[in-house]
Amino acid sequence: MSDGVSRLVRKLKGVVGDNHLLRDTDLTAGYSTDWTGRFQGHTPLVIRPANTAEVAEVVMLTAEAGFAIVPQGGNTGLVGGSVPLNGEVVLSTMRLNDCEPVDQLAQQVTCGAGVTLARAQTHVASASLDIGVDLAARDSCTIGGMIATNAGGINVLRYGAMREQVLGVEAVLADGSVVSHLEGLEKDNTGYHFPSLLAGSEGTLAIITRARLRLHPHLTDRCTAMLAFDSVEDAVAATSALRRSVTSLHAVEVIFRDAMHLVSQHINSAVPVGTNSEAWLIVEAAASSDPTEELAVAIDSLGRLVADVGVGVDSSSRNNLWQYREKVTEAISAKGTPHKLDVTLGASKLADFVTQIPAIISAIDRGSSVYMFGHLGDGNVHVNVLGSGGNEPPEAVDAAVLEYAAKLGGSISAEHGIGTAKKEFLHLNRTSAELFAFRSIKHALDPRQILNPHVLLPSEDS
């Protein structure tokens, strides 16, 4: 351990306690590698403060000692933003795990940043309320991480992304000062809006310690259908029609052919409908009375657009359909270390993108395999690429996919963020004037480059 780290540890012992200062590589390893295994860093120290005051003290002392900090929640981020790739200190939010009682009158809750999504969901369910964002990493991802990445997930078409759920935040800035605005007022035009600024800031502007979230009435009745399509165009057209006609529409998720066959092998269950199709939608309707009839009528009126349909009404048959979507990520990781490219396209460009991408990738590396799936209701396609033998594909693949998305007017990051994986591609979507404004904000709030200095913003000379 270097002298600088030893001195810092001595000072921090009085703040968080020795048990929450991890130095042995056996203990820090899990904090240094990301969920996919693609991003592997190293850290001299993991610090686990228990409350906002401790976070503030930790930030001040760590900055004074000259170390940069990577804030880390559940470490489920997919763009290499949550791990110490340059030997930074890791500040884990796992002990910021208090949920205040649900404010039933306002339909809001205040949670610590380290509360997992699943725990927050269970907590608010006792008041028959739901969190507006849901995603498959729910057992590990945290409220703070979800705000910092502006997470999307499966219900964006109904409730919006994480930014829309956050009414207030408490956060520690890079100089250790605390900003706290947790009243949860629906209208509050008193200047710059910290929740908006911090949503999607990926740990570069502040460490979120608590958040006030808007909640939604729990919808008791659900119906889930899997629809198979002979072409990507048909799946896109059906999505548009369903969005127009189904008032109880809760999710429209997509799995394209190769991803469907991979997940079906992985879970050892046959493709439920339309084995030879090109695309499958998982469509969910949710309401406070049975939405089955509304969904059935809408699916019926899609006529010959749909090649085959399977329906789940009780929770076991619904879960059976959902596993084909929720287990794709795991199925891909079981085969190797993918590059994860997460793009959004306008509806009119989606079919072009999905149809062209395999040829674009194969022209660069014939050995790569491409798996596509995502949130079609939001125009969000996840392009996952494995190189031959499950190794990482060549970097040129990332450039080609992201450039093609940008050329079609799409975004190079729909919901995962920029992290370290995509920062050198940010110019595809952001002008130099925008990047200058981004840097100015970062410089104003973190002039000493303490908070996640290697994330989001590209190097100055690129």
Please state the φ and ψ torsions of residue 211, each to the nearest 5 degrees.
-145, 145
Q: Are 176 and 110 in contact (CB under 8 A)?
A: no
Interaction of residue 148 with ligand FAD, rule CB under 6 A: yes
Interaction of residue 71 with ligand FAD, rule CB under 6 A: yes
Q: What is the dihedral of CA 293, 295, 296, 297, to 10 degrees?
A: 90
Q: Please state the three-class secondary structure of 361-394 as a single string.
A: HHHHCCCCEEEEEEEHHHCEEEEEEECHHHCCCC
3-state secondary structure of 6: helix
Contact string 164-203 vs ligand FAD (x = CB under 6 A): --------------------------------------xx
Q: Which does 35 bind (CB under 5 to 8 A by kind): ligand MLT, ligand FAD, none?
A: ligand FAD
Q: What angle do CA 93, 184, 55 make, to 5 degrees?
A: 25
Chain-centroid distance of CA 261 in Å reads: 24
Q: Are 204 and 456 in contact (CB under 8 A)?
A: yes
**Span between the terminal Cα atoms of the chain, in Å:** 35
Nearest approach in angstroms of CB 340 to ligand FAD is: 9
Interaction of residue 397 with ligand FAD, rule CB under 6 A: no
Q: Which does 31 bind (CB under 5 to 8 A by kind): ligand MLT, ligand FAD, none?
A: none
Q: What angle do CA 62, 146, 158 make, to 5 degrees?
A: 160
Tokens coding 6:
């030893």
Between 59 and 307, whose beta carbon lies closer to ligand FAD?
Answer: 59
Q: Which does 84 bind (CB under 5 to 8 A by kind): ligand MLT, ligand FAD, none?
A: none
Between 172 and 254, whose beta carbon lies closer to ligand MLT?
Answer: 254
426-448 burial string, b = 16+ CB within 10 Å, else e? bebbbeeeebeebeeebeebbee
Q: Which does 77 bind (CB under 5 to 8 A by kind): ligand FAD, ligand MLT, none?
A: ligand FAD
Nearest approach in angstroms of CB 414 to ligand FAD is: 8
Find the binder of ligand FAD among 41, 49, 81, 377 (CB under 6 A): 81
Between 76 and 292, whose beta carbon lies closer to ligand FAD?
Answer: 76
Nearest approach in angstroms of CB 57 to ligand MLT is: 35
Q: What is the DSSP letter of 102?
A: P
Q: Which residues contact 103 (CB under 8 A, 6 or more apart)?
A: 109, 110, 184
Q: Which does 382 bind (CB under 5 to 8 A by kind): ligand MLT, ligand FAD, none?
A: ligand MLT
Nearest approach in angstroms of CB 136 to ligand MLT is: 5
Q: Which residue is nearest to ligand FAD (CB)?
A: 145
Strand order in the sheet with 89-92: 21-22, 46-47, 89-92, 69-72
Binding region for ligand FAD (CB under 6 A) out of 14-22, 146-154, 297-305, 421-429: 146-154
Contact string 127-146 vs ligand MLT (x = CB under 6 A): ---------x----------
Find the binder of ligand FAD among 73, 84, 184, 336 (CB under 6 A): 73
**Interface contacts to ligand MLT, rule CB under 6 A:** 78, 136, 329, 340, 342, 382
**Residues forming the site for ligand FAD (CB under 6 A):** 35, 70-78, 81-82, 93, 113, 135-137, 141-142, 144-146, 148-149, 151-153, 202-203, 207-208, 329, 415-416, 452, 455
